[in-house]
Amino acid sequence: MSDDPAEEISAELDAAQTPKRGDKVLGWMGSVNRQPQLIEGLRRVRRALPGDPAFGDPLSTAGPGSARAIARVADRFLDHQPGASREMSLGALQVWQALLERTGRGRGTQEVTIMFTDLVGFSSWSLPAGDSATLALLRDVARAVETPIVDRGGHVVKRLGDGVMAVFPSPDRAIDAVFAAQEALAEVEVDGYRPRMRVGIHTGVPRQIGSDWLGVDVTIAARMMELGGDGNVMASSATLESLQPGTLDELGVGVKPWRRAFFAPAPSGVPSDLGIWRLRLRRP
């Protein structure tokens, strides 16, 4: 300790200023990390990288020990708010996951058919309808949709608000369940609202992790559903090619190839060589 009080005061002031300077540096780094232009630039880079640019959302997944497992751990340390550091980290993991999928290490071994469903216009209806009507509708929809799934050997993996994710041991059962569910759904009405359902179906070899199914094939099935627009049933060529001969005729289902609009971008998360088909019941 110095005998000069002035030196002691000076030392104390320097010590007090040090953390303030550190705080300023951290604050500057934080502001740079949050710059919208930088974040958007990194997102554009991610869209050009191999793999799914939506990596980091619940549908862009793989098994434990893979990039997705590490992403779940990293997510505890990365701020959930948009940030440059988050985009850079997810971009690196996105590329790694793409390499795993390309070498076959991101997939499972059991072929299943994955189905996603979603109600068209549900959000815009539910807000003014209120909680009671919304819950009544969801109960009726669950009964109409999930009963045919279970009756035909499917398994409801999870409920996703106004939709479900389900898996089937065969595509034949999945397609049968879809149109049975649509028939039952046609009888549902709450406060004048008749729900319409869009569906995506894809057959592949995702990984089963506990009660969940994860992997690129799950992503593809979800993207198929998104292409369903105002209430269509969409299926991948992988699903149609796995059907037993005569299944579509027995069910009275016709298929048409899906065509994207001339200037529309290719659907993300779907391999460019994978065919996309729209399924409809044939009119009598």
Gap between the Cα atoms of 13 and 24, Å rounded: 17
Both 96 and 119 in one domain: the answer is no
Within this chain, do residues 218 and 84 fall inside the same structural domain, yes or no?
Answer: no
Q: Are residues 268 and 194 located together in one domain of the fold?
A: yes
In terms of residues, how long is the chain? 284
Domain annotation covers residue 192: yes
- 276 and 193 in a common domain: yes
Which of 102, 136, 171 finishes a domain? Answer: 102
pLDDT of residue 261: 74
Q: Does one domain contain both 136 and 158?
A: yes
234 contact partners, CB below 8 Å, separation of at least 6: 198, 199, 200, 201, 224, 225, 227, 228, 258, 276, 277, 278, 279
Please give the structure tokens belonging to residue 3: 């005998």
Please check whether residues 92 and 127 belong to one and the same domain: no
DSSP state of 41: H
Of 47, 82, 102, which closes a domain? 102
pTM recorded for the entire structure: 0.65
Same domain, 132 and 231: yes
The answer as to whether 107 is a domain residue is: no
Query: Chunked in runs of 10, what are the mean pLDDT values of the chain (284 residues)?
Result: 55 54 55 62 62 51 42 45 60 59 60 94 88 92 95 93 93 97 94 93 88 85 91 95 94 90 76 90 80
Residues 140 and 26 in one domain: no
Total number of domains in the chain: 2
Question: What domain range includes position 12?
Answer: 5-102
Residues 213 and 267 in one domain: yes
Identify the pLDDT of residue 260.
78
CATH (domain of 139): 3.30.70.1230
pLDDT of residue 63: 41
Residues 129 and 192 in one domain: yes
Do 117 and 70 lie in one domain? The reply is no
pLDDT at 42: 60
Do 170 and 273 share a domain, yes or no? yes
CB 44 within 8 A of CB 196: no
Q: End of a domain among 49, 74, 102? A: 102
In this prediction, residue 207 carries a pLDDT of 83
